[in-house]
Amino acid sequence: MFQHRYSAPSPPAVESTNPTTIDALGEDLLLEIFLRLPSLATLIRAALTCRAWRRAVASSPSFRRRFRELHQAPLLGVFADHERCTLPVFAPFYRRDWDVLAAIGRADFALTPLLDPEIPDDLAGDVPLRWFGHDCCDGYLILGNQDARILAAVNPLSRDKPTYIYFPSNTETTVTEVFVPGLHLLSSDEDPMTFRIVCLLHGQSRVRAMVFSSDAWDWCFHPWVEIQERTQPVDADECWLCSGTQANGFIYWVFETAKHVLILDTEMMEFSVLELPGHFTDQDGVIVGGTKDGARCIVYRTGLVVGVMIYGIDEDGEKRWIPGSTVQYEEQDDPPENNDVLDIMDVKDGFVYLATSKMVL
pLDDT tens for 40-68 read 778 888 888 888 888 888 888 889 888 88
Whether residues 265 and 181 share a domain: the answer is yes
Q: What percent of the chain is predicted at pLDDT more than 90?
A: 23
219: confidence class by pLDDT, cuts 50, 70, 90 = very high
Specify if 158 maps to a domain. Answer: yes
- Structural domain that includes position 141: 73-167
Per-residue confidence (pLDDT) for residue 100, from 0 to 100: 75
| Cβ–Cβ under 8 Å, residues 71 and 65 | no
From 123, 138, 167, give the residue that closes a domain: 167
Higher per-residue confidence, 186 vs 169: 186
Specify if 191 maps to a domain. Answer: yes
Per-residue confidence (pLDDT) for residue 356, from 0 to 100: 73
Whether residues 268 and 292 share a domain: the answer is no
201-208: average pLDDT: 88
Whether residues 64 and 79 share a domain: the answer is no
353: confidence class by pLDDT, cuts 50, 70, 90 = confident
DSSP 232: S
- Helices marked H in the chain — which ranges? 27-34, 40-47, 51-58, 61-70, 98-106
For the chain, the first-to-last Cα distance in angstroms comes to: 85
Find, among 122, 159, 162, the residue nearest to 144 by Cα.
162
Per-residue confidence (pLDDT) for residue 212, from 0 to 100: 95
Specify if 128 maps to a domain. Answer: yes
Whether residues 204 and 227 share a domain: the answer is yes
For residue 120, whether the previous peptide bond is cis, meaning omega lies within 30 degrees of 0, is: yes
Whether residues 206 and 161 share a domain: the answer is no
From 53, 68, 83, give the residue that closes a domain: 68
Whether residues 288 and 261 share a domain: the answer is no
Long-range contacts for 67-76 (Cβ within 8 Å, ≥24 apart)? 67/34, 67/35, 67/40, 67/43, 68/189, 70/35, 71/37, 71/38, 71/39, 71/40, 72/349, 73/40, 73/138, 73/139, 74/39, 74/100, 76/100, 76/103, 76/104, 76/107
- Count: domains in the chain: 4
Whether residues 318 and 248 share a domain: the answer is no
From 140, 167, 194, give the residue that closes a domain: 167
Per-residue confidence (pLDDT) for residue 250, from 0 to 100: 94
Q: Which residues of 128-158 are buried (b: 16+ CB within 10 A; e: fewer)?
A: eeebebbbbbebbbbbbbeebebbbbbbbee
233: confidence class by pLDDT, cuts 50, 70, 90 = low
112: confidence class by pLDDT, cuts 50, 70, 90 = confident
Whether residues 218 and 248 share a domain: the answer is yes
Higher per-residue confidence, 195 vs 339: 195
Whether residues 263 and 176 share a domain: the answer is yes
DSSP 247: E
Specify if 160 maps to a domain. Answer: yes
Average pLDDT, the chain: 80
Q: Which residues of 58-75 are buried (b: 16+ CB within 10 A; e: fewer)?
A: eebeebbeebeeeeeeee
101-125: average pLDDT: 72
Specify if 214 maps to a domain. Answer: yes
Whether residues 218 and 295 share a domain: the answer is no
Per-residue confidence (pLDDT) for residue 333, from 0 to 100: 45
Per-residue confidence (pLDDT) for residue 85, from 0 to 100: 78
221: confidence class by pLDDT, cuts 50, 70, 90 = very high
Whether residues 182 and 269 share a domain: the answer is yes
Per-residue confidence (pLDDT) for residue 171, from 0 to 100: 46
Per-residue confidence (pLDDT) for residue 120, from 0 to 100: 55
Whether residues 133 and 107 share a domain: the answer is yes
94-115: average pLDDT: 80
